[in-house]
């Protein structure tokens, strides 16, 4: 009852902000409810990926949150994909409200907390691959763990304010929960290591403080190391090999800063209208914005020091953590290379989170002596930011909706013909239509198999051809035009195959 009372009190005091966060988040991301899972989004319907296995539990997986979600929810939601997306939006909203709550507590500024939350919650580059790309597995693997990370940092901050050991213990436990939930969470480790170090320099450090900080940082590191050490997803070759073999590390690191800061559509617009047209990844444009963003962030240290010194420790910690996380992710996954690809990506979620809070702090510092100007400027910036990101999110949703429509029609057609399936029936489809196979065998027809149509499959299954179904999909695309989600239809080639005709898939 005490918890319910606190939640009620929090909502009563912050109902305008929490309602606005919900409304703006829903505005930006509501098109997710028109989608179905795409690609590997279906992978956790496979019972081989359960968390609760016959011999106990699979503790050391890198993706425990995803496994737990898909152990619990499929018996309830079954093949109702909209219900899964409703869950993802709910978890995202809990994350956004948690972020607002924690920033408000730390900064004692509702408007700063609100603006930081909106900068993150409506951020196209940081969140589209989790909330909009249909790759539900990435959301389930990574998103739930961010919530305990935020609270772990809050209790670490609280310990720094009052030195009560119980707050530090809670911070350690929440960090352990976050990393256990998903090893991806370990990429947020820099903020938990850097903040105590920066905090130590608020006053003159002494041996006692230095020892305490070393102990805190070591504990956070060891928790992360212990949980992730047995992961099947480890960096290859070690750190020394990484430094030796990877090219352009400094450029790849620094170019991430304008990538998470400057709107992608602005960069592409400038690139396409440069003196000579530039193609993706628009490196000359990114290079142009690099010194501007460096001056903004590092010059912001002076601004915050002069105008909002109480926020200086937090700001410096966020800045150093943003850069450190960028480098750490490059080490963990060498595919992160903005010199080859410029666009939204799952890689940028933590760096974008840290950047969003810094933007809010800089706005506060710019107008610290004029509350009215601060409110007007924040409102203007948020309107521009949300409008622009909504446009990018919606355009991307619309550009991939044809894929969801194809899967919807395919799954519906399989349901329609499923009464005709015999035991051990075989469904042959092009490779891209095989992704929903785990869902279909779990909830539609457990008696079917989806073998890969390798060369010679026609002869291989000819003797049981009456149990073989061959399905294709025609996107009905006009050459040189974009895919149209309103078009597209199922092509049943079963009769052709059973009559001995040669099968040629369209795509």
Condensed to tens digits (0 to 9), the pLDDT of residues 125-181 reads 999 999 999 999 999 999 999 999 999 999 999 999 999 999 999 999 999 999 999
What's the number of CA atoms in the CB half-sphere (13 Å) around residue 2?
0
d(CA 487, CA 477): 8
**What are the CA-CA distances from residue 273 to residues 268, 277, 395, 453 (Å)?**
8, 6, 20, 45
If one counts every other C-beta atom within 10 angstroms of the C-beta of residue 392, the result is 19
Both tokens of 248, joined, read 């352009």
- Whether the CB-CB separation of 315 and 358 falls below 8 Å is answered with yes
Closest listed residue to residue 125, CA positions, set 345, 339, 298: 345
Q: Taking the model in full, what pTM does it have?
A: 0.94
**Residue 48 has what pLDDT?**
80
Exposed, middle or buried, 166 (CB in 10 Å: 0-12/13-18/19+)?
A: exposed
**Residue 275 has what pLDDT?**
62
Summarize the confidence of residues 115-123 as an average pLDDT: 98
What does pLDDT average to over the chain? Answer: 92
**Residue 163 has what pLDDT?**
93
What's the number of CA atoms in the CB half-sphere (13 Å) around residue 417?
19
**Residue 243 has what pLDDT?**
84
H helices, E strands: number in the chain? 21, 6
Rg (CA), the chain: 25
- Whether the CB-CB separation of 312 and 199 falls below 8 Å is answered with no
More confident residue, 333 or 70: 70
Interacting residues of 112 by C-beta distance below 8 A, sequence separation 6+: 103, 104, 360, 361, 363, 364
DSSP-H helix ranges across 229-282: 238-245, 249-254, 256-259, 264-272
Summarize the confidence of residues 360-368 as an average pLDDT: 96
pLDDT tens, residue by residue, 410-452: 999 999 999 999 889 999 999 999 999 999 999 999 889 999 9
If one counts every other C-beta atom within 10 angstroms of the C-beta of residue 160, the result is 20
């Amino acid at each position: 009852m005490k918890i319910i009372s606190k939640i009620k009190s929090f909502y009563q005091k912050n109902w305008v902000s929490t309602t606005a966060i919900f409304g703006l988040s829903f505005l930006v991301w509501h098109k997710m409810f028109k989608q179905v899972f795409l690609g590997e989004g279906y992978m956790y319907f496979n019972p081989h990926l359960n968390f609760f296995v016959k011999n106990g539990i699979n503790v050391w997986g890198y993706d425990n949150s995803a496994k737990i979600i898909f152990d619990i929810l499929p018996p309830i939601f079954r093949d109702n994909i909209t219900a899964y997306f409703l869950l993802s939006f709910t978890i995202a909203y809990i994350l956004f409200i948690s972020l607002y709550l924690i920033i408000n507590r730390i900064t004692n500024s509702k408007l700063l907390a609100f603006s930081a939350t909106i900068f993150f919650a409506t951020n196209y580059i940081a969140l589209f691959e989790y909330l909009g790309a249909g790759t539900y597995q990435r959301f389930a693997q990574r998103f739930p763990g961010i919530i305990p990370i935020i609270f772990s940092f809050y209790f670490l901050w609280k310990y720094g304010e009052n030195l009560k050991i119980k707050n530090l213990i809670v911070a350690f436990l929440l960090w352990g929960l976050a990393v256990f939930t998903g090893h991806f969470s370990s990429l947020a480790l820099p903020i938990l290591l850097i903040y105590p170090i920066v905090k130590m320099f608020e006053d003159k450090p002494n041996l006692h403080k230095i020892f305490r900080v070393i102990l805190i940082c070591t504990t956070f590191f060891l928790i992360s190391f212990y949980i992730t050490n047995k992961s099947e997803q480890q960096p290859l070759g070690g750190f020394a090999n990484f430094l030796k073999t990877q090219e352009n590390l400094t450029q790849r690191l620094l170019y991430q800063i304008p990538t998470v800061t400057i709107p992608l559509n602005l960069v592409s617009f400038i690139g396409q209208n440069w003196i000579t047209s530039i193609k993706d990844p628009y490196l000359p444009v990114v290079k142009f914005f690099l010194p501007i963003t460096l001056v903004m962030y590092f010059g912001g240290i002076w601004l915050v020091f002069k105008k909002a010194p109480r926020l200086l420790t937090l700001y410096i910690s966020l800045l150093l953590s943003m850069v450190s996380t960028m480098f750490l992710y490059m080490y963990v996954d060498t595919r992160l290379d903005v010199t080859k690809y410029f666009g939204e990506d799952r890689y940028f979620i933590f760096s974008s989170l840290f950047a969003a809070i810094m933007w809010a702090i800089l706005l506060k510092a710019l107008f610290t002596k004029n509350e009215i100007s601060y409110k007007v400027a924040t409102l203007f910036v948020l309107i521009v930011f949300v409008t622009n990101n909504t446009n990018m999110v919606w355009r991307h949703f619309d550009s991939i909706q044809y894929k969801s429509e194809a899967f919807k029609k395919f799954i519906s057609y399989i349901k329609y013909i499923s009464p005709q399936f015999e035991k051990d029936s075989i469904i042959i489809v092009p490779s891209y239509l095989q992704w929903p196979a785990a869902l279909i065998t779990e909830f539609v027809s457990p008696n079917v198999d989806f073998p890969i149509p390798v060369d010679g499959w026609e002869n291989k299954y000819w003797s049981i051809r009456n149990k073989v179904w061959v399905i294709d999909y025609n996107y009905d695309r006009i050459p040189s035009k974009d895919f149209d989600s309103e078009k597209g239809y199922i092509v049943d080639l079963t009769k052709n195959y059973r009559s001995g005709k040669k099968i040629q898939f369209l795509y």
